[in-house]
């Protein structure tokens, strides 16, 4: 037949063929029920059709060709053109028979595996696209905890089965077609006080290129990856060119997503009281500053410009005070020297956010024949965040190809190029370049943020709402919002290449060798700016980073069957080389020329740039053997020895074994309802090294003083006696498929213990150092993971599939090195610190708590730390290191419902986290600055809580005295020293439960009949998608409990938390 491929404007191809015949028939399942929407494709061509509602089809094919009939969930069938097509019957496929890509890209029959593997299909990820594809995997795999940090273009934590390392990287290892991909977290600063989140390395992977994702949990699955597999491995297989004759195909995928802020994750502002920390200034309600603005000799009232809080005077909407406000200070503005009604602004900071948009367009072509195949893909991502002036662009080019040099000798290679350009990422944590720091912690509700941006855009000046005074318009603590967004933005660019080259040679039909070189390199430049006239010293800084990783692998594989015994295995060697270097320079003491961002514009001679360079190597040799008997019993064992350059010679070599066993009991027990069943068990160890430069000491050079060199001891004390940390894990699991695969179950129990944790232990600085490198102790992670899938309804037109995942991970610090009482993971602003404490789960939050009576009720005292005149106060603990929370959740679950009706499918996913806590610096400060709705309103007497107690105001505290009596006196709530803000010094007051139930994803897909396209298109799918549309339930106010500072080991701390974004989008996928 003739067919024209038409692809945008860049491809035109015409094919001719000869003798044809038309066949027709019907397709049904093994019960005889018709299968609508089954595909029939003429082999080796793109000619195909779908069955109609009754399973009937008609197709015209070439003489002497063949047709493959397939339908999801059923085994495909290939028939010659002269076969009988009248009533075709398809058998249901057994999903557990699927082939899994495991360690080092080796494909294995899933039933033989002695460890837990979960697979997600590429289409499941690519249908709902995001700038970070990892967020599309949330809730889909038990034991895989993906936590988005919420920032635009920001990172996501990818943790499999809990944190096994205290200090080190706990992120899962990513392997793309055999290439290890770094998943480093890129945060320019961190520690909760500024910096930007540049995302994580794995987010560069293009979802449109993904064929399947396998999540290998536990050490046994990962022993062969060596050290870096100890956190679990995510193996990604990308799409390949098809190897069949005339397999030429084109795929176009286009998606658009738009996002808007989720107000459930935003502050709710009070609108009754104006700027100030209390009503103790001047003018009406003591809420104003006095200046003689009009020069008539009498003072006029102005906003309390310097005060970044909203505990000031009460607005009087009926008869508002007229005050000179921030927009009266600049001659360019309409309100210059005009007093205007002092009222809550019509817009709150929640109104300044724009609609985010993400366009992702990709096109790929592929072809193949008996000699080889290739695939070329190009994807363009263009995204704007909700914060004005934030943009992310990413172009990805991928190419892979394989070629059969001889029957036995095959060469293949793949290259991916990713160019990412970011601009205006929102700052993180407690930093003026994080808008949310101001809007969640410090703000005047009488200021209109939208007007702030408007005047900036009109005049390009730093017209701050927070000046020194009426006659001094310099910003005191905060810049104009537009100025922050459009002047003091960062830009970043990264070029990354990764891929591999492989040679594969078959000595004979049972032994072969694979040699592979893989690489992953990137160059990036990050530039940060602060313009002249900002609150902060004007500055330009740039940092160039280069990183590269090369892996050299050689592996000899063998596979042989002797009657009932199957035997396969491999021996191999691996060398990994990682290089990292960076150079960062900054202007010194400000900029001379406004708006010119170059080091030459430095006010003083720039200081020496800071340089860093490191190289580390790990080599390993390994062997693996797996034996099967009668397709029923399988036994596998592996052994690996690594040598790392980051450990001292005395401890740089470490050997670790694994062993696993499987029994397919459905081969032994014959039960009608049992389609498939197996049990598995394994034990494995994995060694892990550390980063470079933790063994030998070196000094830090300071900036020279008048020609004198300065050197200082570093803050961490290195240790010549370090050795590898070892994770030992045991796992038991069962997989079963029942009632013709209508019920499938996968359950695992694991216990994973990491010993000799390599940690820079925080120590008392009286030792002269802040931390000391030690093999510090051991941590245990144990838990249960369940996956259950049920198909309650399966008829010819309709099916309903429910699949659920549930996992709990209990992590507990078992012991610490001698002399240690706790391992401090971080100490933060607000007086809290996060710890690993023996007997406690990882991530205990410590600070000052409430004192409670035996019934758990908060105790009160009349000795208010703000002074007795403030009334009763909560009684706080004496020490500041009480355990007041823990960041580790109790369990996570995901429930997905999928409905298929003919060629329409609909699914939604609910993601649940139970337990876990976080400390909020936002409410810690924000409750004191009076910006939130709960800091205004009425008390039990229906009097305003901000009125003085003497006038019937104040609040009755929810607690009792030591004798059990309730308070009779109310507590003052008229200024920042109220009983809920940071002035109480009780950190526990700002520890919130991080539980949530979210409608994570909702999707509607429609397979457009190809007839619509007049036969030009082989398949067309239109999807409409919604992400994070609804937080069904949460126990914390004003923010998304999932969010933190950046991906990393600390998740239980929010400061200037990003806003949640509801996304809806549509995508169209066309295959030619």
Partner 1 sequence: MKTNYKILFACFSLIFVACQTDIEYETLNRNPKDPSVVPYATLFTSASKSLVDEMVTTNYNTSIYKFLAQYWAQTTYTDESNYEVQNRNISRNHWSEMYTDVLFDFKDAKERAINGTSVNKVGEEAQITVLEVYAWQNLVDTFGNVPYTEALNPKENILPAYDDAATIYTDLMIRLDTAISQLGSAPGGFTKADLIYGGDLAAWSKFANSLKLRLAMRLSDVNPSVSKAAAEQAVAAGVFTSNADNTTLQYLGAPPNTNPIWVSIVQSGRKDYVASNTMIDHMNALSDPRLDNFFKDKVNGAYLGGPYGATNTYGKYSHINAQILAPDFEGTLIDFVEVSFLQAEAAERGYSITGTAEQHYNNGIESSILYWGGSASDVTSYMANPDVAYTTASGDWKEKIAMQFWIGMYNRGCEGWNVWRKFDSPQLNIPVASQRPIPTRYTYPIVEQNLNEANRSSAASAIGGDEQTTKIFWDVN
Residue 600 engages partner 1 in binding (rule: CB under 8 A): no
Closer residue to partner 1, CB minimum distance, 70 or 538:
538
Residue 292 engages partner 1 in binding (rule: CB under 8 A): no
Compute the C-alpha angle 350/352/355, nearest 5°: 95
- Residue 832 Cβ vs partner 1, minimum distance, rounded to whole Å: 9
Residue 836 engages partner 1 in binding (rule: CB under 8 A): no
Taking CB under 8 A as the criterion, the residue among 35, 769, 841, 931 binding partner 1 is 769
Q: Are 1001 and 128 in contact (CB under 8 A)?
A: yes
- Residue 589 Cβ vs partner 1, minimum distance, rounded to whole Å: 4
- Residue 873 Cβ vs partner 1, minimum distance, rounded to whole Å: 13
Q: What is the dihedral of CA 316, 317, 318, 320, to 10 degrees?
A: 60
Burial pattern 854-869, b for ≥16 Cβ within 10 A else e, equals eeeebbbbeebebeee
Residue 590 engages partner 1 in binding (rule: CB under 8 A): yes
Instruction: Tell me the three state secondary structure of residue 111.
Output: helix
232-291 binders of partner 1 (CB under 8 A)? 277-278, 280-281, 289
Q: Kind and range of the H or E element at 482?
A: helix 481-486
- Residue 297 Cβ vs partner 1, minimum distance, rounded to whole Å: 15
Closer residue to partner 1, CB minimum distance, 331 or 707:
707
Residue 1049 engages partner 1 in binding (rule: CB under 8 A): no
Residue 619 engages partner 1 in binding (rule: CB under 8 A): yes
Closer residue to partner 1, CB minimum distance, 215 or 841:
841
Question: Cα(791)–Cα(808) distance, rounded to whole angstroms?
Answer: 25
Q: Are 689 and 576 in contact (CB under 8 A)?
A: no
Please name which of 935, 943, 938 lies closest in space to residue 979, comparing C-alpha atoms. 935
- Residue 475 Cβ vs partner 1, minimum distance, rounded to whole Å: 8
681-720 binders of partner 1 (CB under 8 A)? 692-693, 695-703, 705-715, 717
Q: Are 326 and 467 in contact (CB under 8 A)?
A: yes
Taking CB under 8 A as the criterion, the residue among 351, 611, 862, 863 binding partner 1 is 611
- Residue 604 Cβ vs partner 1, minimum distance, rounded to whole Å: 4
Question: Cα(462)–Cα(454) distance, rounded to whole angstroms?
Answer: 12
- Residue 230 Cβ vs partner 1, minimum distance, rounded to whole Å: 20
Residue 490 engages partner 1 in binding (rule: CB under 8 A): no
Phi then psi for residue 922, to 5 deg, are -70, -45
421-480 binders of partner 1 (CB under 8 A)? 468-469, 471-472, 474, 476-477
Mark residues 717-756: x for contact with partner 1 by CB under 8 A, - for none: x---------------------------------------
Closer residue to partner 1, CB minimum distance, 892 or 1049:
1049
Closer residue to partner 1, CB minimum distance, 155 or 1054:
1054
Q: Which stretch binds partner 1 (CB under 8 A): 35-43, 180-188, 305-313, 850-858?
A: 305-313
Phi then psi for residue 102, to 5 deg, are -115, -150
- Residue 643 Cβ vs partner 1, minimum distance, rounded to whole Å: 7
Residue 343 engages partner 1 in binding (rule: CB under 8 A): no
Give residue 734's Cα distance to chain centre.
Answer: 30
Closer residue to partner 1, CB minimum distance, 566 or 824:
824
Q: Where are the beta strands (DSSP E) in 51-160?
A: 56-62, 66-70, 77-80, 87-90, 99-101, 107-109, 117-121, 144-148, 156-160
Task: Give the β-pairing of 771-775 and 716-717.
Answer: parallel
Q: Which stretch binds partner 1 (CB under 8 A): 232-240, 738-746, 818-826, 1021-1029?
A: 818-826
Residue 794 engages partner 1 in binding (rule: CB under 8 A): no
Q: What share of the chain is helix, strand, coil (3-state, %, to 5)?
A: 10, 50, 40
- Sheet with 300-302, side-by-side order of all strands: 289-291, 300-302, 322-324, 339-341
Please name which of 813, 835, 696, 699 lies closest in space to residue 761, comparing C-alpha atoms. 835
Instruction: Tell me the three state secondary structure of residue 360.
Output: strand
Question: Cα(793)–Cα(721) distance, rounded to whole angstroms?
Answer: 62
Taking CB under 8 A as the criterion, the residue among 66, 89, 645, 1071 binding partner 1 is 645
Residue 592 engages partner 1 in binding (rule: CB under 8 A): no
Number of residues that bind partner 1 (CB under 8 A): 106
Closer residue to partner 1, CB minimum distance, 22 or 712:
712
508-567 binders of partner 1 (CB under 8 A)? 513, 515, 517, 535-537, 552, 554, 556
Residue 880 engages partner 1 in binding (rule: CB under 8 A): yes
- Residue 1007 Cβ vs partner 1, minimum distance, rounded to whole Å: 46
Mark residues 941-980: x for contact with partner 1 by CB under 8 A, - for none: ------------------------------------x---
Taking CB under 8 A as the criterion, the residue among 78, 765, 1011, 1033 binding partner 1 is 765
Residue 879 engages partner 1 in binding (rule: CB under 8 A): yes
Closer residue to partner 1, CB minimum distance, 6 or 409:
409
- Residue 330 Cβ vs partner 1, minimum distance, rounded to whole Å: 18
- Residue 552 Cβ vs partner 1, minimum distance, rounded to whole Å: 6
Q: Where are the beta strands (DSSP E) in 563-673?
A: 565-586, 588-591, 602-604, 610-629, 633-644, 653-663
- Residue 583 Cβ vs partner 1, minimum distance, rounded to whole Å: 10
Taking CB under 8 A as the criterion, the residue among 822, 905, 1023, 1055 binding partner 1 is 822
CA end-to-end span of the chain: 15
Residue 403 engages partner 1 in binding (rule: CB under 8 A): no
Burial pattern 378-413, b for ≥16 Cβ within 10 A else e, equals bbebebbbbbbbbbbbbebbbebbbebeeeeebebb
Closer residue to partner 1, CB minimum distance, 317 or 768:
768
Site of tokens 């944590």: 429
Closer residue to partner 1, CB minimum distance, 706 or 940:
706
Question: Cα(1055)–Cα(918) distance, rounded to whole angstroms?
Answer: 10
DSSP letters, 521-565, are: EEEEEEEEEE-TTSSSPPEEEEEEEEEEEEEEEEEEEEEEEETTE
- Residue 882 Cβ vs partner 1, minimum distance, rounded to whole Å: 9
Instruction: Tell me the three state secondary structure of residue 461.
Output: coil
Closer residue to partner 1, CB minimum distance, 631 or 765:
765
- Residue 306 Cβ vs partner 1, minimum distance, rounded to whole Å: 5
Taking CB under 8 A as the criterion, the residue among 649, 669, 855, 950 binding partner 1 is 649
Q: Are 803 and 791 in contact (CB under 8 A)?
A: no
Residue 861 engages partner 1 in binding (rule: CB under 8 A): no
Give residue 521's Cα distance to chain centre.
Answer: 22
- Residue 572 Cβ vs partner 1, minimum distance, rounded to whole Å: 9
51-110 binders of partner 1 (CB under 8 A)? none
- Residue 645 Cβ vs partner 1, minimum distance, rounded to whole Å: 4
Question: Cα(529)–Cα(488) distance, rounded to whole angstroms?
Answer: 5
Closer residue to partner 1, CB minimum distance, 661 or 865:
865
- Residue 1010 Cβ vs partner 1, minimum distance, rounded to whole Å: 47
- Sheet with 758-762, side-by-side order of all strands: 716-717, 771-775, 758-762
Taking CB under 8 A as the criterion, the residue among 183, 401, 574, 799 binding partner 1 is 574
Closer residue to partner 1, CB minimum distance, 562 or 705:
705
> What tokens were used for 850?
């409430």
Residue 761 engages partner 1 in binding (rule: CB under 8 A): yes
Question: Cα(1009)–Cα(650) distance, rounded to whole angstroms?
Answer: 67
């Amino acid at each position: 037949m003739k067919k024209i491929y038409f692809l945008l404007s860049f491809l035109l191809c015409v094919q001719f063929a000869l003798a044809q015949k038309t066949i027709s028939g019907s397709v049904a399942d093994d019960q005889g029920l018709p299968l609508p929407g089954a595909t029939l494709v003429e082999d080796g061509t793109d000619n195909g059709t779908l069955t109609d509602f009754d399973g009937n089809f008609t197709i015209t094919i070439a003489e002497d060709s063949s047709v493959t009939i397939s339908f999801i969930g059923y085994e495909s069938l290939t028939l010659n053109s002269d076969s009988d097509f009248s009533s075709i019957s398809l058998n249901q496929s057994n999903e557990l028979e699927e082939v899994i890509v495991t360690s080092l890209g080796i494909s294995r029959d899933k039933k033989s595996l002695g460890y837990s593997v979960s697979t997600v299909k590429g289409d499941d990820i690519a249908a709902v696209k995001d700038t970070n594809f990892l967020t599309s995997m949330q809730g889909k795999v038990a034991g895989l905890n993906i936590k988005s940090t919420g920032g635009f273009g920001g990172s996501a934590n990818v943790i499999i089965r809990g944190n096994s390392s205290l200090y080190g990287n706990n992120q899962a290892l990513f392997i793309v077609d055999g290439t290890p991909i770094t998943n480093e977290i890129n945060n320019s600063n961190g520690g909760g006080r500024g910096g930007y989140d540049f995302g994580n390395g794995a987010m560069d992977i293009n979802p449109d290129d993904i064929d399947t994702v396998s999540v290998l949990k536990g050490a046994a699955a990962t022993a062969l990856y060596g050290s870096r597999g100890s956190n679990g491995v995510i193996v990604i297989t990308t799409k390949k060119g098809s190897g069949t004759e005339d397999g030429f195909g084109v795929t176009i995928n286009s998606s658009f997503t738009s996002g808007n802020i989720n107000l459930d994750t935003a502050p709710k502002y009070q609108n009754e009281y104006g700027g100030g920390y209390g009503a103790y200034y001047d003018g009406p309600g003591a809420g104003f500053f006095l200046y003689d603005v009009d020069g008539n000799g009498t003072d006029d009232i102005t906003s309390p410009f310097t005060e970044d809080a909203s505990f000031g005077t009460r607005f009087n909407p009926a008869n508002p005070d007229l005050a000179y406000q921030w927009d009266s200070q600049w001659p360019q503005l309409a309100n210059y020297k005009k007093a205007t009604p002092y009222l809550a602004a019509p817009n709150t900071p929640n109104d300044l956010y724009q609609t985010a948009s993400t366009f992702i367009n990709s096109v790929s072509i592929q072809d193949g024949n008996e000699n080889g195949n290739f695939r070329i893909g190009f994807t363009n991502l263009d995204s704007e965040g909700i914060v004005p002036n934030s943009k992310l662009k990413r172009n990805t080019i991928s190419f892979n190809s394989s070629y059969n040099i001889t029957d036995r000798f095959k060469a293949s290679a793949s290259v991916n190029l990713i160019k990412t350009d970011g601009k205006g990422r929102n700052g993180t944590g407690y930093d003026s370049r994080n808008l949310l720091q101001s809007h969640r912690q410090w703000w005047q509700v009488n200021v209109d943020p939208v007007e702030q941006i408007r005047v900036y855009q009109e005049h390009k000046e730093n017209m701050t709402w927070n000046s020194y005074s009426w006659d001094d318009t310099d910003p005191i603590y905060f810049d104009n919002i537009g100025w922050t967004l459009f002047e003091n933005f960062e830009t970043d660019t990264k070029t990354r290449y990764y891929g591999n080259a492989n040679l594969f040679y078959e000595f004979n039909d049972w032994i072969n060798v694979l040699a592979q070189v893989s690489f992953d390199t990137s160059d990036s430049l990050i530039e940060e700016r602060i313009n002249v006239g900002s609150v902060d010293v004007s500055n330009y800084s740039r940092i160039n980073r280069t990183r590269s990783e090369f892996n050299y692998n050689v592996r000899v594989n063998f596979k042989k069957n002797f009657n009932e015994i199957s035997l396969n295995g491999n021996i191999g060697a691996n060398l990994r080389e990682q290089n990292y270097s960076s150079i960062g320079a900054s202007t010194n003491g400000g900029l001379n020329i406004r708006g010119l961002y170059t080091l030459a514009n430095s006010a003083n001679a720039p200081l020496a740039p800071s340089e860093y360079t490191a190289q580390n190597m790990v080599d390993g040799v390994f062997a693996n053997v797996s034996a099967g008997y009668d397709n029923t019993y399988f036994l596998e064992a592996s052994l690996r020895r690594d040598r790392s350059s980051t450990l001292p010679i005395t401890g740089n070599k470490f050997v670790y074994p694994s062993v696993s066993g499987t029994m397919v009991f459905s081969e032994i027990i014959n039960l009608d309802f049992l389609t498939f069943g197996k049990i598995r068990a394994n034990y494995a160890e994995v060694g892990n090294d550390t980063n470079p430069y933790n063994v030998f000491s070196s000094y830090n050079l300071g900036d020279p003083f008048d020609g004198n060199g300065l050197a200082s001891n570093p803050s961490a004390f290195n240790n010549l006696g370090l050795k590898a940390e070892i994770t030992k894990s045991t796992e038991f699991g069962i997989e079963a498929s029942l009632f013709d695969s209508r019920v499938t179950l996968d359950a695992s129990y694991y216990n994973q213990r990491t010993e000799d944790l390599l940690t820079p232990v925080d120590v008392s600085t009286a030792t002269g150092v802040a931390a000391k490198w030690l093999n510090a102790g051991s941590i245990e992670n144990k838990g249960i993971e369940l996956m259950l899938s049920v198909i309650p309804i399966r008829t010819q037109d309709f099916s309903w599939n429910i699949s659920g995942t549930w996992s709990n991970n209990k992590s507990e610090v078992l012991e610490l090195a001698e002399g240690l009482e706790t391992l401090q993971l971080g100490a933060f602003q607000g007086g809290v610190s996060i710890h690993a404490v023996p007997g406690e789960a990882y991530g205990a939050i410590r600070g000052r708590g409430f004192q409670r009576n035996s019934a758990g009720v908060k105790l009160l005292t009349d000795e208010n730390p703000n002074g007795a005149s403030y009334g009763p106060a909560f009684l706080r603990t004496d020490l500041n290191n009480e355990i007041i929370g823990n960041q580790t959740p109790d369990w996570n679950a995901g429930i997905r419902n999928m409905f298929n009706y003919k060629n329409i499918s609909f699914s939604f996913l609910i993601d649940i986290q139970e337990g876990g806590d976080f400390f909020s610096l936002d409410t810690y400060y924000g409750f004191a600055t009076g910006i939130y709705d709960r800091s205004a309103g009425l008390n039990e007497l229906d009097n305003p809580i901000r009125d003085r107690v003497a006038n019937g105001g104040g609040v009755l505290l929810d607690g009792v005295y030591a004798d059990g009596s309730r308070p009779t006196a109310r507590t003052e709530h008229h200024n920042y020293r109220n009983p809920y803000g940071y002035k109480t010094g009780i950190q526990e007051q700002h520890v919130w439960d991080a539980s949530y139930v979210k409608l994570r994803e909702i999707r509607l897909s429609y397979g457009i009949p190809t007839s619509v396209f007049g036969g030009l298109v082989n398949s067309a799918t239109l999807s409409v998608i919604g992400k994070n549309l609804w937080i069904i339930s949460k126990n914390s106010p004003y923010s998304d409990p999932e969010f933190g500072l950046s991906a990393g080991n600390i998740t239980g701390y929010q400061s200037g938390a990003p806003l949640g974004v509801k996304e809806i989008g549509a995508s169209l996928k066309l295959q030619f």
